[in-house]
């Protein structure tokens, strides 16, 4: 899932749109009045579902990648485009109700570079087109390079830059797009809050990152999340801890813990290298904080014990850099992690609401 991501979406909505801060983290608990609601019977229709869903309030294109440089060092990058609508009706030009927010980050063992871009729809500064696929804000872009027979997400170029960093990467999928939950209907709370959620977790990544010290050639593995909804959180949920891992045996694990005043809600997807996805029931995944670090004046649990007894998984997750803090309009923690234990691997951790 990605409850993780929604929080940011939510952030966008609350920061720019409605005074809904009292309702759950970053306003994600706001009622969906006038917007479409996720349909449990709905099925994905590609490539049009790679584009924007204007009937829904919030949506994102969320890419993370764990990388290794030619210099042998570990890196991580994040590229996210959030869409939020102030109201379900349309509007042209500068009166468009659509707002876009881009986040880009580049993490090293000692530094965490962040950039943010804001835009509104209607004037061409930011948007997402399904065919030919491109998601962009300013000069940042995720652009399809796929052949006509392939899924548009199979091959992507990805670029972003901030004041002191940038990257240009090529992403090549080695497996299919996978749907989380029940055919992509992903439940977030016991009250039935949900989203439409699919991923492309099989990217091989190559390209170049630009650090203040100069460019570095990198390779690694990437993971794209796509999710949209109108009211994905319960107003009792205060934040979440979300994890995506590429294990050394080729299996992918996605799991999250929704922190709820009435008791946490967890969910996990177990994805085999051929793209077979097993949605594990609520409570199957156990996430236990092991160590907190002081980041941005907050206590953030950066080391975790992850147990998934159904799969015999018991791992410890540790970040590349404790201080992977996204000091953006809605701040959160997002950074590359390493897993050790029964199933070693690499991936990304996201934590919100701290």
Partner 1 sequence: MIAVVMGTLMSHWRKRPLQLVLLLLGLSLATALWSGVQAINAEARAAYADAAGLLARDRLDRLVGENEAPIAPARFAELRRAGWAVSPVVEGYHAPSGLSLVGIDPLTMPAGATPVGQDDGPGIAAVLAPEGLLIVNPQTADRLKDAELPPLFAVEGLPPMTAIGDIGLVQRLLDQPGLISHLVIDPDAPPGLMALAELAPELDRVSPEGDGDLARLTDSFHLNLTAFGALAFVVGLFIAHAVIGLVFEQRRATLRTLRALGVSMRVMVGMLLVELGLLALVAGIGGVALGYLVAAALLPDVAGSLRGLYGAEVSGTLSLRPGWVLAALGLTLAGTLAAAGIALWQSATMPVLAPAMPRAWARTSAKKLAWQGATGGLLLLLAGVLSLLDVGLVAAFALLASLLVGAALILPLAMSAIVTRFARQKGGPVRQWFWADTAQQVPGLSLALMALLLALVSNIGVGTMVASFRQTFTGWLDQRLASELYLNTRSSAETAAILDWVTPRVDAVLPIWSVSGTLNGLPGEVFGVADHATYRDNWPLLDAVPDVWDRVASGEVALVNEQLARRTDLAVGDQVALPGGSLPVGGIYSDYGNPKPQVLVGLALFDSRFPDVPHLRYGLRIAPEKAAALGQEITARYDLPAGSVIGQADIKAYSLDVFESTFAVTDALNILTLGVATVALFASLLTLAEMRLPQLAPLWALGLTRRRLAGIELVRIVVLAALVLILAIPLGLALAWALVARLNVAAFGWQLPMGLFPGDWLWLAVTALPAAALAALWPALRLARMPPAALLRMFANERG
**CB of residue 15 vs partner 1: minimum separation in angstroms?**
7
Q: Which of 32, 37, 86, 280 binds partner 1 (CB under 8 A)?
A: 86
Q: State which residue, 127 or 175, has the beta carbon closest to partner 1.
A: 127
| Residue 157 structure tokens | 């170029």
Stretch of residues binding partner 1 (CB under 8 A), selected from 17-25, 58-66, 208-216, 345-353 = 17-25
Instruction: Count other C-beta atoms under 10 Å from residue 299's C-beta.
Output: 11
Residue 182: DSSP 8-state: B
Q: Which of 41, 71, 72, 163 binds partner 1 (CB under 8 A)?
A: 163
Instruction: Count other C-beta atoms under 10 Å from residue 314's C-beta.
Output: 14
User: Does residue 68 interact with partner 1 by CB under 8 A?
Assistant: no
User: Does residue 129 interact with partner 1 by CB under 8 A?
Assistant: no
Q: State which residue, 59 or 307, has the beta carbon closest to partner 1.
A: 59
Residues 6+ apart with CB under 8 A from 85: 35, 54, 56, 57, 58, 97, 98, 99
User: Does residue 161 interact with partner 1 by CB under 8 A?
Assistant: yes
User: Does residue 212 interact with partner 1 by CB under 8 A?
Assistant: no
Whole-angstrom distance, CA of residue 131 vs CA of residue 136: 13
Q: Which of 34, 40, 90, 93 binds partner 1 (CB under 8 A)?
A: 93
Sign of CA dihedral 199, 341, 317, 206: negative
Cα dist from 325 to 5, 162, 296, 298, 330, whole Å = 15, 15, 7, 10, 11
The 10 Å CB-count burial string (b at 16+, else e) for 97-115 is bbbbbbbbbbbbeeebbbb
Q: State which residue, 68 or 125, has the beta carbon closest to partner 1.
A: 125
**CB of residue 19 vs partner 1: minimum separation in angstroms?**
7
By CB under 8 A, what part of segment 310-339 binds partner 1? Answer: none
User: Does residue 123 interact with partner 1 by CB under 8 A?
Assistant: yes
Residue identified by tokens 């294990």 is 247
Q: Which of 32, 37, 44, 87 binds partner 1 (CB under 8 A)?
A: 87
State in Å, rounded, how far the first CA of the chain is from the last one: 19
Q: Which of 28, 63, 77, 119 binds partner 1 (CB under 8 A)?
A: 119
Give the residues lining the site for partner 1 (CB under 8 A): 15-19, 86-87, 93-95, 97, 99, 118-120, 123-125, 136, 138-139, 161, 163
């Amino acid at each position: 899932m990605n409850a993780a991501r929604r929080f940011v979406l939510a952030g966008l909505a609350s920061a720019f749109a409605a005074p809904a801060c009292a309702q759950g983290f970053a306003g994600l608990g706001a009622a969906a009045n006038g917007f479409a609601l996720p349909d449990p019977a709905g099925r994905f229709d590609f490539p049009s579902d790679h584009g924007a869903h204007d009937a829904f309030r919030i949506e994102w294109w969320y890419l993370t990648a764990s990388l290794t440089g030619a210099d042998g060092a570990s890196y991580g990058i994040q590229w996210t485009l959030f869409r939020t609508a102030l109201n379900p009706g349309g509007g042209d030009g500068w009166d468009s109700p659509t707002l876009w927010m881009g986040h880009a980050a580049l993490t090293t063992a000692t530094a965490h570079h962040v950039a943010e871009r804001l835009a509104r729809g209607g004037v061409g500064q930011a948007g997402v087109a399904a065919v030919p696929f491109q998601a962009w804000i300013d000069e940042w872009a995720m652009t399809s390079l796929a052949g006509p027979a392939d899924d548009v997400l199979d091959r992507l170029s990805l670029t972003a830059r901030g004041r002191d960093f940038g990257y240009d990467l090529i992403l090549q999928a080695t497996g299919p797009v996978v749907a989380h939950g029940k055919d992509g209907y992903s439940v977030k709370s016991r009250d039935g809050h949900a989203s439409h959620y699919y991923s492309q977790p099989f990217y091989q990544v190559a390209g170049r990152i630009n650090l203040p010290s100069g460019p570095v050639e990198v390779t690694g593995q990437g993971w794209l999340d796509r999710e949209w909804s109108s009211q994905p959180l319960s107003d009792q949920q205060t934040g979440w801890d979300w994890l995506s891992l590429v294990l050394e045996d080729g299996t992918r694990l996605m799991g999250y813990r929704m922190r709820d005043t009435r008791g946490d809600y967890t969910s996990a997807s177990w994805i085999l290298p051929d793209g077979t996805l097993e949605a594990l029931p609520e409570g199957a995944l156990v996430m236990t904080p092991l160590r907190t670090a002081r980041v941005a004046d907050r206590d953030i649990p950066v080391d975790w014990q992850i147990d998934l007894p159904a799969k015999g998984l018991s791992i410890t997750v540790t970040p590349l850099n404790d201080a992977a803090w996204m000091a953006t309009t809605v701040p959160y923690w997002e950074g590359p992690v390493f897993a050790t234990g029964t199933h070693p691997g690499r991936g990304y951790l996201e934590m919100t609401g701290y």
